[in-house]
Chains A and B, each alone.
Chain A
Amino acid sequence: MSAISVHDLTRRFGDFVAVDRLTFEVREGEIFGFLGSNGAGKSTAIRMMCGLLKPSGGTATVGGIDVGRDPEGVKRRIGYMSQRFSLYERLTVDQNIRFFAGIYGLRRDRLETRRRFVLEMSGLQSREHVRAADLAGGWRQRLGLGCAILHEPPIVFLDEPTGGVDPVSRREFWRLIDGLSARGVTVLVTTHYLDEAEHCHRVAIIHGGRLAALGTTAELKRAFHGRTIIEVHAGRPVDAMRLLDDMPDVEKTSVFGTAVHAVVSMKPGEAARTIRERLEGGGVAVTRLGPVEPSLEDVFLDVAERATQ
C-alpha cells in the first residue's frame, strides 16, 4: 500500500492555480523529493496533504486516510516541519521538546525515552538549556525535526528543511533523514539543492503547480535519451553560444560554470564533430569539447523549460 496517494490535487487562490491536478504515489519507507523553483507550489501541496489547507479539488490519501474528509485523522499519523523555523524561540531546547511531547500526549517513560532520543539524534545534549533563539541554523533545523517526530509518526513531511544551512549541517541532516527511512518512515521532502535530490529514492519535479517529471534520478537522466549534451570550453563563450544557438540541431544552450552546455539531437560522436567544425569555422578557439552525462541540473532546467512551453 502507498503511504501517500495523491490524485488530481488542485489548489486555487482566486483565479491563480497554485497546484494543478497533481497526481503521484509515495511508497512506504521511501524518501520522496519535491523539486521545483520558487513559487512552484511545493509548500501549497504539502500543506494540503497535512490537512492545513483545504484542497480546491482532487484527493490526497495519507497513511490510508483521506485528508479532505478527516484532516484531524491525518494529523495523528504525520510529522510536519514547515519551511519556516516554527519552534518557540523563548523556550529552551528542553522546554520545546517537553512542550511538543505534551501536546502529542506523550507520558512519563515514553516522554523520557523520546526526549533523550531527540536530544541524542540532534546532538543537542549539551545544549538542553539553551534558548531556541540562540541556536545556530543547523541545530535549529535538527531540533525542529526532532520535535516533529517525537510521536514517532510513520509519515514525515519536511518543507525545505535545509534552507539557509551550511553544507556540513546539511549532510548531517540528510544522515538523519536516511536514518528515518531505514526505520521504515516515509519522508516527503522539498529542496532547492539538486545534490540533495540525489539522496531521494524518487524525485518529483514540480513546475507551475504541475508535475513535470517523476522518477529516480537515473530515470530522469535517461529521459535525455536520443539526445546528447556537449560540454564546450572555449576562449570566447559568448560568441560560442551565439554560434551554437544558430545551429538547427542544437535544441538549447546554457552556461555551466566556465563552460557551455549544448543539448544536441544527435549521437555523441557526430554531435562533437559537427559542433567543433562549426565553432572553429566561426573563428572561436575550442580548448576542450566532448559529450557529458546529463546532471540533475540539466534535467531540471530541461524539464522546467519544456513545461513552460
Chain B
Amino acid sequence: MSGMRRVAVLVWKELIELKEDRDLFGIVILAPILQLFMLGYAATTDVRDVPVVVADADRSVASRALVARFNASPNFTIVDVVTSPNELDPYLERGRAWIALAIPPGYGEALGRGTPQALQVIADGSDANSTNVAIGYATNLIAGYAQELGARMPAGSVTPGIEPRVRVWFNSRLDSRDFMIPGVLALLLLVITTNLSSMGIVREKEVGTLEQLNVTPLRRWELIVGKLLPYALVGMVDVCLVLAVAVLWFQVPLRGSVTLLFALTLVYLMSTLGLGLFVSTISSTQQQAMMTTIFFFLMPMIYLSGFIFPIENMPAVIQPLTYLLPLRYYLVILRSIFLKGVGLETLWPDALALAAWGIAILSLAVARSTKREA
C-alpha cells in the first residue's frame, strides 16, 4: 500500500515538472497537431494526371478501349502509345511517364474467351507513395474494365482480369491521406513517448536527483511505474488530439471501435515507454539518449515498419525483420481499425505480438536498472 502511495507522489511530482516545462508543452501538444496538419496536407488526397505510356502489342478493340479508359480517367494522362514493350524504358528513365502499361498480343482475344490475362504494369519507384497510389488506380481501372466485360458475358463463364491488390481494396477511395494519418498517429506516439521516457529518466541521472532517489527506500518498480504513468497519460492526450483532428478536420473514416483503439494504444505505449526506459539504462546524458533513440530505434522502425515503404515491396531478406518492430503491429492495428473497421477477432495476433514486445522490453529495462552502481 505504501508502494502505491509512493507511486502517486512520483506521478504528482512528474506532472508538476511537465507543467512547468514550457518547451515540453510545445513538443507534446503543439508539435503533434502541426505535424498532423503538415503531413495531412502533404499526403495529397489523390494523384492526378499521372503520365502513362502504353505499349499496345495487341491493337485490338479491347486494348484500344482500355487505353481510352485510362485517358478518360482524371487520374491518368496517356503521353504516348507505342507498339513494343522495349520502347517503354526511355519514357520511365527520363521521367516522361510514371507508369508503363504493356498489353500483350492476344489480350482482346483472351478476354473474349474469358481466360485471365496478365497485363504488365511497370512503375517508376522513385516516389514510392505516389507510385503506389497510381498503381492502385491502374489496378482498379483494369480490374473494373475486366469485370465489366465479364458481366456482359454469359453467366457461368470465368471473370477475366487481374486480382486487385488487397491494400488498395480497403482504401476504396484510394485516399492516401486516409492511409497516412493513422500512420502519423503511430509515429507521433512513438517519437514523443519514447523520447519523453528516455530523456525524463536520463535528465534525473544528469542532474543528480536520481541518485537522491536511489538512496531512499523507493523500490525499482515504484520508480519506473511512477515515471512512466505520467508519460502514458501524455501519450493518451496526444491520441485524443490527433484523433479529433483526423476525424473532425480531415474526415478520415474511423470505422472500428474507439475503445479498442484506446486499449491497444495502451498496449503499444508499453513498448514505446519500455524502449525509452531501456535507452535510459544505456545512456548517461540526455543528448546520448536522444541520439540512441533516433538512430538505433526510431529511424530503422520508420523505414522498416511499413510506414513509408510498403513491407511487401521490401527485399525478401528484410521482410522477416519487420516482425521485430512494434510499430509494424500497431500500424496494422490502427489502419485496420480506421479503414476496415475490424475488431479483436481479426487483430488478436498483432495485439498479442505488441503486448509480448512491450512486456519483454519493460522486463529487460527493469532488470537493467539498479539502485546501486555495479
Contacts and interface: CB of A to CB of B under 8 A. Distances in A.
Contact of B17 (A50, A80, A85, A90): A90
Interface stretch (A95-103, A183-191, A218-226, A271-279): A95-103
Interface string B10-48: 101100110011000000000000000000000000000
A52 B214 contact: yes
Nearest to A92: B16
A35 B238 CA distance: 52
Contact of A54 (B9, B21, B373): B373
A192 interface: no
Given A86-B209, A88-B13, A95-B16, A105 B371 contact: no
Contacts of B320: none
Contacts of B5: 102, 105
Contacts of A54: 372-374
A103 B216 contact: yes
Interface stretch (A70-78, A170-178, A236-244): A70-78
B212 interface: yes
Contacts of B372: 51-54, 71
B361 to A, nearest CB: 26
Given A52-B372, A53-B373, A90-B16, A99 B9 contact: yes
A91 interface: yes
A154 B13 CA distance: 27
Contacts, number: 78
A103 B218 contact: yes
A267 interface: no
Interface in A77-116: 78, 80, 82, 84-91, 95, 98-100, 102-105
Given A90-B21, A99-B9, A104 B373 contact: no
Contacts of A100: 216
B211 interface: yes
A52 B20 contact: no
A91 B9 CA distance: 13
A82 to B, nearest CB: 6
A95 B20 CA distance: 13
Contacts of B211: 52, 82, 86
Interface of B is mostly: helix
Nearest to A103: B216
B2 interface: yes
Interface in A11-49: 47
A47 B372 CA distance: 9
A86 B20 contact: no
Contacts of A86: 207-209, 211-212
B59 interface: no
Contact of A105 (B2, B10, B213): B2
Given A85-B208, A105-B5, A91 B217 contact: no
B217 A76 contact: yes
Contacts of A53: 372-373
B215 A52 contact: yes
B216 A102 contact: no
B373 A80 contact: no
B69 interface: no
Contacts of A104: 216-217
Contact of B209 (A51, A87, A131): A87
A52 B370 CA distance: 9
B6 interface: yes
A88 B211 CA distance: 12
Interface string B196-214: 0000000000011101111
Contacts of A52: 211, 214-215, 371-373
Contacts of A71: 371-372
A104 B213 CA distance: 10
B13 A72 contact: no
A213 to B, nearest CB: 29
A98 B211 CA distance: 18
A95 B14 CA distance: 11
A161 B74 CA distance: 76
Contacts of B13: 88, 91, 95, 99
B373 A51 contact: no
Contact of A88 (B6, B209, B218): B209
Nearest to A83: B208
Given A86-B209, A99-B9, A103-B9, A75 B374 contact: no
B216 A87 contact: no
Interface string B340-374: 00000000000000000000000000000001111
Nearest to B374: A54
A134 B227 CA distance: 25
A192 to B, nearest CB: 19
A104 B20 CA distance: 24
Contacts of B21: 90
Contacts of B17: 88, 90-91
A71 B373 CA distance: 11
Contact of A80 (B209, B215, B374): B215
A98 B12 CA distance: 10
A53 to B, nearest CB: 5
Interface string A114-132: 0000000000000000010
Given A78-B215, A80-B212, A105-B6, 9 more contacts: A50-B215, A52-B371, A54-B374, A75-B216, A76-B217, A82-B211, A88-B13, A99-B9, A105-B217
Q: Nearest 5 pairs between A and B by C-beta? A: A102-B9, A86-B208, A84-B208, A90-B20, A86-B212
24 contacts: A47-B373, A51-B372, A52-B215, A52-B373, A53-B373, A54-B372, A54-B374, A71-B372, A75-B217, A82-B211, A82-B212, A84-B208, A86-B212, A87-B212, A89-B207, A91-B13, A91-B16, A99-B9, A99-B12, A103-B6, A103-B9, A103-B217, A104-B216, A105-B217
Interface of A: 47, 50-54, 71-72, 75-76, 78, 80, 82, 84-91, 95, 98-100, 102-105, 131
Interface of B: 2, 5-6, 8-10, 12-13, 16-17, 20-21, 207-209, 211-218, 371-374
